[in-house]
Amino acid sequence: MTDSLTEAPPAGRIAIAGAGIRLGEGAAAFEVVRDIDLAIPPRQFVCLLGPSGCGKSTLLGALAGHLGLARGSLSLDGQPVAGPHPERGIVFQQHTLLPWRRVLDNVAFGPKMRGVPRAERLDRARDFLALVGLADFADRYPSELSGGMQQRVEIARVLINQPRVLLMDEPFGALDAQTRLMMQELLLDIWTRLPTTVVFVTHDIDEALFLGDRVLVMSARPGRILEDIPLAFPRPRGRDLVTDPDFVALKRRCLDLLRPRDGRPPLPRLTPLGLPLAGAA
Amino acid sequence: MSTDEATARRRYRILAVLSPLTLLGAWAFVTAQGLATPTILPSPLAVLASLTDMVGHGYSGVDLATHVLASLRRVGIAFCGGALLGTAIGLLRGRVPEIDALFLVPSELVRPIPPLGLIPLFILWFGIGETSKILLIFLSVFLIAMVNAQAGARACSLDALRAARSMGAGRWQAFRFVVLPSALPQIMTGLRVAMGTALTILVAAELLGGDRGLGFLILDASSFFRTTYVFAGIVLVGLIGLASDRAIALLGRRIVHWEGKR
Ligand SMILES: Nc1ncnc2c1ncn2[C@@H]1O[C@H](COP(=O)(O)OP(=O)(O)OP(=O)(O)O)[C@@H](O)[C@H]1O
Ligand SMILES: [Mg+2]
């Protein structure tokens, strides 16, 4: 199983300069993220934290090549990103496995699209299923797996394309706490074996601090990068890291950054008839 | 779990068989009690007698098999053509806004018109031969298949499409391997509805002339007050409908084996 896993491409350097992304049409169009400047070296594990709706998924969509920039530039290893490509794999919160294909064929989907012969792509799919610990489930259908297993298959089917960048949009957000911790450790384990840059979006501060080499905290709309926090915790990381004083201090800092502080007016107090009280805000 | 499923399935079968038998029993009871005039509601046995008579001697000089095959041929050709073309265009409409725009007004103008209202026009244009019968059925199958395929083409999530594209699928591959299979459940449902409608239109279309087909048989028998033959013809149409519906449903379950398991 070693060969097909390690023959991966060399780099995965992301450079974003002055990037802005607009969504919506006509008068409703607005700039979701703005002034993003970011350099991510190869193999770095970057976590993206930010309030809901601040444009994390949008930024990831641009990295994947599903969304275009309104301005600025975005490149991978010096090549401008134009459209989706298997070198930039993406995992969403909800798996996108094809329910009509067996798990093995789901993992082999990317190679099939690129015309890899059947025997070869199924062999490789077996390797990657083993990598995520699901070698015994090759012949099942996705509906026969648990949520965590489905997400592991999803990771395998992205990694089989040997991406230089792995984009993850709250990939464990729909899992129960126990499974989520297990998935985090599995992901770190895989990542140390595969030369891949990871951009990982999450709501969960613990998750970001536990996984990342670096945490980017974004502001509410329009999304900007508020703070770029390097994480120097040694690897391999164990669960007891979460009680480390440095970890706790950083967690407090992230909480502070994420707390809405700019003057959102308090909601008006209502009378029983639903009318605002005279004189109230 | 599995024994529960087995009992549930057995109960389903029993009910599915019991309900038509009950109806048949009620029918036999009503006629045996003389509650209905035989020319209005003949007894099941009388209908069966006419049916066997037709099997042995044909109807109006033509083999029963010939009548049945004439009808099946019309429905078969029109259904296959309408299903294929309607599904293809519906899928395209679901994914390509320009193609949707091309078909939107024409198809929504035609869709509310009852097909039977088109009969005079079709006779005028295509005569009373096979062409207008087949085209009339074709048109209704086509419209139903198109609407369902279009809705089905929108069933797959944006994320699923994007993920496929990010795994190296081109536009056509994403359509072929993601959009099309996601649309299949709805396409198969549409085909079942279309088959039922096709048989309705068939009988009506055969009323408009010709000397063979089950619709002709029913009309001819009714104009001579041979009620038992009218019923026998209706029973045959019903059985064809039941058989074709079960066949499509079975095929659908085979093809769409994942449905309801997501
Ligand atoms: N297609 C679209 N058209 C217009 N506005 C959109 C579109 N998609 C997203 N938005 C808006 O863009 C903003 C950013 O959305 P995005 O999904 O990137 O946020 P997010 O940071 O991922 O949020 P969450 O943490 O809730 O997933 C939101 O305010 C959303 O309403
Ligand atoms: Mg999001």
| Interface residue B157 vs chain A (CB under 8 A) | yes
| Interface residue B124 vs chain A (CB under 8 A) | no
The CATH number of residue B198's host domain is 1.10.3720.10
Residue A226 CB burial class (10 angstroms; 0-12, 13-18, ≥19): middle
Angstrom CA distances, A159 to A7, A162, A239, stand at 12, 5, 25
Distance A30 CA to ligand 1 centre (A): 11
Q: Which amino acid is at B25?
A: G
User: How many structural domains does chain B have?
Assistant: 2
Answer yes or no: are the C-beta atoms of B137 and B86 closer than 8 Å: no
Distance A58 CA to ligand 1 centre (A): 6
- If asked whether residues B10 and B81 sit together in one domain, one would say no
CB atoms within 10 A of CB A212: 23
- If asked whether residues B187 and B60 sit together in one domain, one would say yes
Q: Across the interface, do A99 and B262 touch by the CB < 8 Å criterion? A: yes
Residue in A93, A98, A164 to test binding to B, most B beta-carbons within 10 Å: A98
Question: Reduced to 3 states, what is the DSSP secondary structure of residue A94?
Answer: coil
- If asked whether residues B3 and B89 sit together in one domain, one would say no
What ipTM describes this predicted complex? Answer: 0.85
- If asked whether residues B145 and B26 sit together in one domain, one would say no
Query: B51 in a domain, yes or no?
Result: yes
- If asked whether residues B5 and B65 sit together in one domain, one would say no
Mean pLDDT of chain A: 89
Angstrom CA distances, A265 to A260, A262, A278, stand at 11, 9, 16
- If asked whether residues B14 and B117 sit together in one domain, one would say no
Give the nearest partner residue to B258 out of A85, A90, A99, using CB atoms: A99
- If asked whether residues B136 and B59 sit together in one domain, one would say yes
Distance A218 CA to ligand 1 centre (A): 13
- If asked whether residues B123 and B189 sit together in one domain, one would say yes
Mean pLDDT of chain B: 91
Which pLDDT belongs to residue B129?
85
Q: Across the interface, do B169 and A88 touch by the CB < 8 Å criterion? A: no
| Interface residue B178 vs chain A (CB under 8 A) | yes
For chain B, the residue count is: 262
Q: Mean pLDDT over residues A217-227, rounded?
A: 88
Q: Which domains are present in chain A?
A: 3-243 (3.40.50.300), 244-281 (no CATH)
Domain residues for the domain of B10 are 1-33
Q: How confident is the model at residue A99 (pLDDT cuts 50, 70, 90)?
A: very high
Higher pLDDT, A7 or A232: A232
Distance CA A183, CA A162 (A): 20
Residue in B158, B159, B162, B167 to test binding to A, most A beta-carbons within 10 Å: B167
Q: Across the interface, do B262 and A143 touch by the CB < 8 Å criterion? A: yes
For chain A, the residue count is: 281
Tokens of B242: 């039941």
- If asked whether residues B172 and B232 sit together in one domain, one would say yes
**In A, which residues are within 8 Å of B258 by CB distance?**
99-100, 141, 143
Closest-CA residue to A224 (of A60, A50, A74, A17): A50
Residue spans of beta strands (DSSP E) within chain A: 14-23, 30-40, 45-49, 71-76, 79-80, 88-91, 165-169, 197-202, 214-218, 225-230
Angstrom CA distances, B71 to A224, B43, B58, stand at 69, 26, 15
Q: Across the interface, do A109 and B164 touch by the CB < 8 Å criterion? A: yes
Query: B160 in a domain, yes or no?
Result: yes
Query: B106 in a domain, yes or no?
Result: yes
Give the global pTM. 0.83
Paired sense of beta strands A165-169 and A197-202, if any: parallel
Q: How confident is the model at residue B262 (pLDDT cuts 50, 70, 90)?
A: low
Answer yes or no: are the C-beta atoms of A229 and A236 closer than 8 Å: no
| Distance in angstroms between the alpha carbons of the first and the last residue of chain B | 19
- Give percent of chain B with pLDDT exceeding 70: 98
Write the CB contacts of B26 (distance below 8 Å, at least 6 apart in sequence). none
What pLDDT digit, counting tens, does each position of A136-160 carry?
999 999 999 999 999 999 999 999 9
| Interface residue B170 vs chain A (CB under 8 A) | yes
Which pLDDT belongs to residue A247?
93
Answer yes or no: are the C-beta atoms of B89 and B83 closer than 8 Å: no
Q: What are phi and psi of A70, to 5 degrees?
A: -80, -35
| Substitution site in A21, A22, A23, A66 for ligand 1 pocket (most atoms within 8 Å of beta carbon) | A23
> Residue A225's beta-bridge partner residues?
A218
What pLDDT digit, counting tens, does each position of B137-156 carry?
999 999 999 999 999 999 88
Query: B88 in a domain, yes or no?
Result: yes
Query: B113 in a domain, yes or no?
Result: yes
Q: Mean pLDDT over residues B229-252, rounded?
A: 93
Write down the residue that tokens 């299979």 correspond to. B181
Query: B107 in a domain, yes or no?
Result: yes
Which pLDDT belongs to residue A105?
97
- If asked whether residues B18 and B100 sit together in one domain, one would say no
| Interface residue B16 vs chain A (CB under 8 A) | no
What pLDDT digit, counting tens, does each position of B51-64 carry?
999 999 999 888 99
Distance CA B135, CA B113 (A): 15
The 10 Å CB-count burial string (b at 16+, else e) for B160-175 is: bbbbbbbbbbeeebbb
Position A2 pLDDT exceeds 50: no
Chain A nearest CA to B117, separation (Å): 42
Question: Reduced to 3 states, what is the DSSP secondary structure of residue A11?
Answer: coil
- If asked whether residues B85 and B12 sit together in one domain, one would say no
Ligand 1 site: residues with CB under 6 angstroms? Answer: A 23-24, 32, 50, 52-58, 221
Q: Mean pLDDT over residues B23-35, rounded?
A: 91
Tokens of B66: 């010939």
- If asked whether residues B241 and B201 sit together in one domain, one would say yes
Lowest mean pLDDT among A48-62, A248-262, B92-106: A248-262
Distance A54 CA to ligand 1 centre (A): 7
Which chain A residue is nearest to residue B262, measuring alpha carbons?
A143
Query: B262 in a domain, yes or no?
Result: no
Query: B60 in a domain, yes or no?
Result: yes
Closest-CA residue to B45 (of B260, B254, B235, B253): B235
Q: Mean pLDDT over residues A182-201, rounded?
A: 93
Q: Which ligand is nearest to the CA of A52?
A: 1
Give the nearest partner residue to A92 out of B159, B168, B261, using CB atoms: B159
Chain B nearest CA to A171, separation (Å): 13
